[in-house]
Amino acid sequence: MCAHCKEVDYSLLKLVVPISCFWSDFENRWIKMLLDSENNFDFMNSMKERDYVSCSGRSYANLKRKIFLSQDTGVVLLGNLKVSLSSGRLQLVDATGSIDVVIPGIPSAWAFN
């Protein structure tokens, strides 16, 4: 702590979950949602939709997306934002590499200057 800084409160900090547990939790949530979708579970929370995703000129139809909210999972991802040179998508880059994320409210043509 420097002489010019106030004392920092670390009481709200939590330990980081091992990445294997993190992925396992999301994998279990995803499997449950897939099983629920067979029983007419609404994947998009409002209406059934199909996502058409394009990557390197190839189209991938019928991909399903689900947003996991921080409030539901208790996890907040930290990192630096960058635009992928290959896809042009906004990415979150952490110490382990790139995690492709969708950030609501930021248009894909947003200027980073």
Q: What is the pLDDT of residue 44?
A: 46
Q: What is the pLDDT of residue 108?
A: 56
Torsion of CA 79, 84, 90, 95, to 10 degrees: -10
Beta pairing partners, 92: 81, 99
Q: What is the 8-class DSSP label of residue 57?
A: T
Token duo for residue 11? 């009481």
Whether 68 contacts 29, CB under 8 Å: yes
Beta pairing partners, 99: 92
Sign of CA dihedral 105, 107, 108, 110: negative
pTM for this entry? 0.32
User: Tens of pLDDT along 25-57?
Assistant: 777 777 777 777 666 545 444 434 444 444 455
Q: What is the 8-class DSSP label of residue 18?
A: P
Task: For residues 6-32, give the mean pLDDT.
Answer: 68
Q: What is the pLDDT of residue 43?
A: 47
